[in-house]
């Protein structure tokens, strides 16, 4: 397991909205999803709002990242429906040592809606090596 001094960060796009929805109509689904995930309070996870993850056509979008871990971007979430699924996937990510959760162990939504996977930054890339 990862050391507690290196939290996982869950980024949540707060700008995501439903098709045809005009700005100011109602709370945006992305903001609603952020609120739900913040209230879920997953141990070892910092939930961070971001303005845009540039995945507008694929529903609410999140990203998971952490020091020495692979970063994942997932989309297609529904604010009032998928908080539990996201929490399950995040817990599996937290419990991994490098962010790589075996495909079959991921929640189905995570298996079918992965937008991107990025390798961890190396120490040399960060200028510390």
* Residue 129 scores a pLDDT above 60: no
Over the chain, what is the mean pLDDT?
Answer: 88
What is the C-alpha to C-alpha distance for residues 69 and 97, in angstroms, rounded to an integer?
7
Q: What is the mean pLDDT of residues 62-83?
A: 96
**What does the pLDDT read at residue 31?**
94
pLDDT at 71 over 60: yes
Tokens for 91?
A: 């817990």
What's domain 8-118's superfamily in CATH? Glutaredoxin (3.40.30.10)
The answer to which of 16-20, 25-29, 83-87 has the lowest mean pLDDT is 16-20
């Amino acid at each position: 397991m990862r050391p507690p001094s290196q939290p996982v960060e869950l980024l949540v796009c707060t700008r995501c909205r439903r098709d045809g929805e005009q700005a100011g109509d109602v709370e945006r689904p992305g903001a609603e999803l952020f609120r739900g995930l913040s209230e879920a309070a997953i141990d070892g996870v910092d939930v961070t709002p971001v303005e845009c993850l540039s995945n507008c056509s694929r529903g609410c979008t999140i990203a998971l990242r952490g020091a020495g871990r692979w970063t994942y971007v997932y989309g297609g979430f529904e604010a009032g429906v998928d908080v539990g699924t996201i929490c399950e996937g995040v817990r599996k990510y937290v419990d991994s040592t490098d962010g790589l959760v075996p495909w079959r162990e991921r929640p189905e939504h995570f298996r079918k809606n992965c937008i991107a996977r990025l390798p961890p930054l190396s120490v040399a890339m960060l200028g510390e090596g």
